[in-house]
Amino acid sequence: MIVRTPAIVFRTVDYQESTYIVTVFTRELGKIAVMAKGARRQKSPYAGLFDIGTQLDMVLYNKTTRGIQPLKEASYLHRNFSIRTDVFKMVTVQRIIELVNQMLHDQEVNEEKWDFISTLLNWLDGQEQPSQNLFPYVQLRLAEIQGIGISLDQVQEIALEKGTLLGIDIESGMITNRTNAARFYPLSSAAIQFLIQGISSRNSQLLALALTRDERIQLVQTLDQYLSYHIDSVRARKTDQIYKDFL
């Protein structure tokens, strides 16, 4: 069956002399592998199409019993040129794509997650200087879409007003002052404010919230611990090791 679908490139691997095997997240078919024959040739019409994070309009010969779907044709859905030419944007996108890839099963269709990533890529492409807070914001939104969003109850709101030490209870996903919880991860007051603002609104001011580099790294690592506790496939990202100087 021939299927036309928007797709986001997750990974590209050389195959034989002139072919790519491309992992894509499609809106209609979920995460699938696609064989792009001839794409590695110098004069291929697919030249430059399969960079990580590129959004494509794809036509596939789809068969659910087949592990790799042959590509019929592909073209840009959104060019998002600045993401491929700005180092910080490129690093940010690669971190996000690696996390989303870990959170998805093969052939898992999730239109809400696809729409979120597509909208995010388009927004990021238009930003002059993206905030370093973008990645923990994405972690929060992905947890929410996954159905395991961070939450805050009224008891902890009272504790917050008193300046009590707060953190995340990894098991429950609650912002809490229960330091004796089995999986309690303390956070700075600025990181807690980031979480509270992030779960209560989607205001862009969240990206401007002042976090030191150490606070941001601790927040990202804590959210990683939370995601990996609830999603077995989430693990340490290779991109964070490769680009650690940019974090």
Q: What is the pLDDT of residue 1?
A: 92
Q: What is the pLDDT of residue 155?
A: 53
Give which of 24, 101, 100 is closest to 62, Cα–Cα: 24
pLDDT in tens, 40-63: 998 899 988 999 999 999 999 999
If phi > 0 it is left, if psi is from -120 to 50 it is alpha, else beta; for residue 125 that is alpha
* C-alpha dihedral (213, 81, 53, 217), degrees to nearest 10: 0
Q: What is the pLDDT of residue 105?
A: 95
Give which of 58, 54, 53 is closest to 6, Cα–Cα: 58
Q: What is the pLDDT of residue 152?
A: 81
Q: In what side-by-side order are the strands of the sheet with 184-186?
A: 151-152, 174-176, 167-169, 184-186
Task: Please list the ranges in the chain whose pLDDT falls under 70.
Answer: 153-163
Report the greatest alpha carbon distance in the chain. 66
Write down all domains in the chain, each with its CATH number in brackets. 2-81 (2.40.50.140), 131-246 (no CATH)
DSSP-assigned states of every residue in 131-144: -TTHHHHHHHHHHH
Which residue's entry shows tokens 């990683």? Answer: 224
Q: What is the pLDDT of residue 160?
A: 58
Which tokens hold the place of 142?
């992905």
Q: What is the pLDDT of residue 159?
A: 56
**Three-class DSSP category at 49:** coil
Give which of 206, 10, 208, 222 is closest to 95, Cα–Cα: 10
